Structure 1
């Protein structure tokens, strides 16, 4: 299960992530590693089941970060759209 998860993350990072043109909301707001990189690290270190609590917490924090970015968007912060990939809405800019 861990190998399948890591392979899926690798495919996402290689093929889908470059197309959306923006990092996850957590990385956009706080900097540091993206959610896919954080989850990949957690699965590598702890396994999918062992890291499930930290993975869920990361996605929750990313959802909260998205809320902050969405609020900035309504006040002219420059975010122009959202790409929903799994449980995490990902804002992006065009141009």
Structure 2
């Protein structure tokens, strides 16, 4: 069996860079990891891409981000949470919870 594809290795390196350089500076932790334990979303996505390849990881990654969205609601039912999703090439601002 061969190793990860070049695209999967590139994604793995990009996520590793994010985990080392950006994630420690953002000031909050992955809601899914806090609510359920285990890997953070970036760690889970990294592992999935290495194991399955980029194209076969799209659906599991989308499902993981949906589960993280639900974890935010679980952890903060009466407050508003705002931040920026940095686990991709484009930072996407988000807000959850009540105003």
TM band (smaller chain)? 0.7 to 0.9
> Quick one: structure 1 residues 18 and 84, their matched pair in 2 at CA, closer, same or farther if it must change by over 3 Å?
same
Residue 3 of structure 1 corresponds to which residue in structure 2? Answer: 9
Residue 45 of structure 1 corresponds to which residue in structure 2? Answer: 51
Q: How many residues align?
A: 85
Higher Cα radius of gyration: 2
Deviations 1:10-56, CA, capped at 9 Å, x for gaps: 11100111112432110011111100000000001001111211111
TM-score normalised over the length of structure 1: 0.74
Within the candidate set 18, 24, 30, 1:24 is matched to 30
The higher relative CO (CA closer than 8 Å, separation ≥ 6) is in: 1
Unaligned runs of 5+ in 1: 75-79, 90-95
Residue 77 of structure 1 corresponds to which residue in structure 2? Answer: none
Residue 55 of structure 1 corresponds to which residue in structure 2? Answer: 61
Residue 64 of structure 1 corresponds to which residue in structure 2? Answer: 70
Rounded to whole Å, the distance in 1 between the matches of 2:23 and 2:93 is 13
TM-score normalised over the length of structure 2: 0.72
RMSD of aligned C-alpha atoms? 2.5
Unaligned runs of 5+ in 2: 1-6, 87-91, 95-99
CA shift at 1:8, angstroms?
Answer: 1.1
Residue 13 of structure 1 corresponds to which residue in structure 2? Answer: 19
